[in-house]
Amino acid sequence: DTEVTQTPKHLVMGMTNKKSLKCEQHMGHRAMYWYKQKAKKPPELMFVYSYEKLSINESVPSRFSPECPNSSLLNLHLHALQPEDSALYLCASSPLRGFGQPQHFGDGTRLSIL
Amino acid sequence: SQQGEEDPQALSIQEGENATMNCSYKTSINNLQWYRQNSGRGLVHLILIRSNEREKHSGRLRVTLDTSKKSSSLLITASRAADTASYFCATDAQGGSEKLVFGKGTKLTVNP
């Protein structure tokens, strides 16, 4: 069992839908991350939150909107996605933001855009 | 790009054998981490080695780092079928953002 919980595990949506991915951790970590992973590729960083504030946005299209309501919860709001956005979306957390911080990953949400 | 390159891309061995995976990167780093990803699951942190360290052990894992060659290796000894997974190295760039950049990964298959 992972200590970072992501819901839902699978999501199928149309290009006009609005949906949200949820990530929760109760390890007291103050840095949280969203990654996108395509099949047979490494994870690519999308966003970093530190102390509930957005600290890194890797030039992600605005159809992806992150939110960090509190230190345990991270959301990714999705709107008007494209078929190429189909991927595994991984959430991770670490004790702090900074160098040398091992990251704890959830099992991801597998997203399919019709 | 800082992205690491693992080799081999795929490795198939028999249970009990040792598995060695290599990672090369392009820029100076502060730390290098290795992660494992089982099929359909998230990544699991295995080991972190700092730029001033040359070797680190954790159970059946041995990691080496050669900063002069900008390369690292992960050795798994006495492999088990449960070690079947993809293995990624991840680096953070010295003087840059602390974000992790993952290599392309090695897919390891351990046959029973």
Instruction: Give per-residue pLDDT as tens, B72-103.
Output: 999 999 999 999 999 999 998 776 677 889 99
Q: How far is A34 from chain B (nearest CA, A)?
A: 12
CA pseudo-torsion sign B41, B42, B46, B52: positive
DSSP conformational letter for B83: G
A92 contacts in B (CB within 8 Å)? 42-43
A97 contacts in B (CB within 8 Å)? 98
Phi, psi of A83 (to 5 degrees): -55, -35
Beta carbons of A98 and A52 less than 8 angstroms apart: no
Beta carbons of A11 and A19 less than 8 angstroms apart: yes
Q: How far is A107 from chain B (nearest CA, A)?
A: 4
Summarize the confidence of residues A28-48 as an average pLDDT. 95
Joined tokens for residue A42: 């490494």
The pLDDT score that the predictor gives to residue A20 is: 97
Q: How far is B38 from chain A (nearest CA, A)?
A: 10
Q: Which of B30, B42, B97 sits opposite A100 (nearest CB)?
A: B30
Mean pLDDT score of chain A, rounded to an integer? 94
- Cβ-defined contact of B99 to A45 (cutoff 8 Å): yes
Residues 28-87 of A with CB under 8 A from B: 41-45, 48, 56, 58
**Higher per-residue pLDDT: A100 or A27:** A27
**Nearest chain B Cα to A90, which residue?**
B42
Q: What's the CA gap between A61 and A15, in Å, rounded?
A: 14
Q: Which of B50, B88, B105 sits opposite A100 (nearest CB)?
A: B50
- Cβ-defined contact of A106 to B98 (cutoff 8 Å): no
Q: What's the CA gap between A99 and A31, in Å, rounded?
A: 12
Summarize the confidence of residues A27-39 as an average pLDDT. 96
The pLDDT score that the predictor gives to residue A1 is: 53
R_g of chain B computed on alpha carbons: 13
∠ CA A11-B35-A89, nearest 5°, is 15
Q: What's the CA gap between A52 and B74, in Å, rounded?
A: 35
Using alpha carbons, select from B59, B6, B72, B2 the residue that is nearest to residue B33.
B72
B103 contacts in A (CB within 8 Å)? 42
The label of the residue with tokens 């030039």 reads A59
The pLDDT score that the predictor gives to residue A100 is: 83
Band (pLDDT 50/70/90 cuts) for residue A96 is confident
The pLDDT score that the predictor gives to residue A23 is: 98
Summarize the confidence of residues A31-60 as an average pLDDT. 95
The pLDDT score that the predictor gives to residue B103 is: 92
The count of other CB atoms within 10 Å of the CB of residue B28 is 14
The low-confidence residues of chain B, meaning pLDDT below 50, are 1
- Cβ-defined contact of A90 to B42 (cutoff 8 Å): yes
% chain A with pLDDT above 70:
98
- Cβ-defined contact of B98 to A98 (cutoff 8 Å): yes
The pLDDT score that the predictor gives to residue B1 is: 47
Q: Under 8 Å CB-to-CB from A84, ≥6 apart: which residues?
A: A113
